[in-house]
């Protein structure tokens, strides 16, 4: 089993060689102070895999259109620490509101939770998040707004990156997400259904 850092460097090297637009969209890593502020803001320690990812890259250059590079994680762009905090606060507010208004069963743990920490966002607003709940700690989920329930994708970010590396290096379909890699215009990685 490779470490998160080793896997990320392997994936990043593939981007550098095959999807240079995506590679150039990567921002420098978050500082320890940035990560500490984020942990203070969410109110609990972040999973080590997420901290490792943030220390490598604090998000990507914000995309303004679907033709801009940077959405190499299944069509999602890495968020920076400010974006992560903002989305965590949004999900927490949705969960608290559901409890206050009496529809907790329809929302909490299905479409929002105070212990979900988003780390990537699609242009549509959909999110990839790391679950910090006991029993689900470290799991990666996909939250598509409008769907009645989130989709668990991987038991950990490490396994997610293992699958992503294997898929891009071998031009293989991702079994979990039912998508396969394709390089668009020799500059950016896309994940197409099929």
Question: pTM score, two decimals?
Answer: 0.95
pLDDT tens digit sequence for 50-79: 999 999 999 999 888 888 999 999 999 999
- Report d(CA 177, CA 63) in Å as an integer: 23
Q: Residue 130 phi/psi, 5° resolution?
A: -105, 125
Beta bridge partners of 183: 189
**pLDDT tens per residue across all 194 residues of the chain:** 689 999 999 999 999 999 999 999 999 999 999 999 999 999 999 999 999 999 999 999 988 888 899 999 999 999 999 999 999 999 999 999 999 999 999 999 999 999 999 999 999 999 999 999 999 999 999 999 889 999 999 999 999 999 999 999 999 999 887 889 999 988 999 999 87
- Report d(CA 103, CA 74) in Å as an integer: 31
């Amino acid at each position: 089993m490779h470490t998160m850092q080793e896997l990320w460097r392997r994936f990043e090297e593939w981007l550098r060689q095959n999807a240079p637009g995506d590679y150039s969209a990567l921002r420098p890593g978050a500082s320890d102070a940035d990560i500490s502020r984020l942990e203070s803001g969410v109110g609990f320690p972040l999973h080590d895999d997420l901290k490792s990812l943030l220390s490598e890259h604090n998000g990507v250059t914000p995309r303004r259109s679907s033709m801009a590079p940077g959405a190499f994680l299944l069509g999602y762009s890495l968020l920076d620490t400010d974006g992560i905090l903002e989305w965590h606060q949004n999900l927490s507010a949705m969960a608290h509101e559901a409890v206050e208004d009496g529809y907790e069963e329809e929302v909490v743990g299905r479409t929002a939770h105070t212990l979900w920490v988003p780390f990537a966002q699609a242009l549509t607003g959909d999110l990839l998040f790391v679950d910090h709940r006991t029993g689900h700690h470290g799991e990666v989920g996909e939250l598509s707004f409008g769907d009645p329930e989130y989709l668990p994708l991987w038991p950990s970010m490490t396994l997610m990156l293992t699958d992503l590396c294997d898929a891009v290096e071998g031009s293989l379909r991702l079994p979990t997400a039912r998508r396969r890699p394709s390089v668009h215009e020799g500059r950016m990685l896309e994940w197409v259904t099929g």
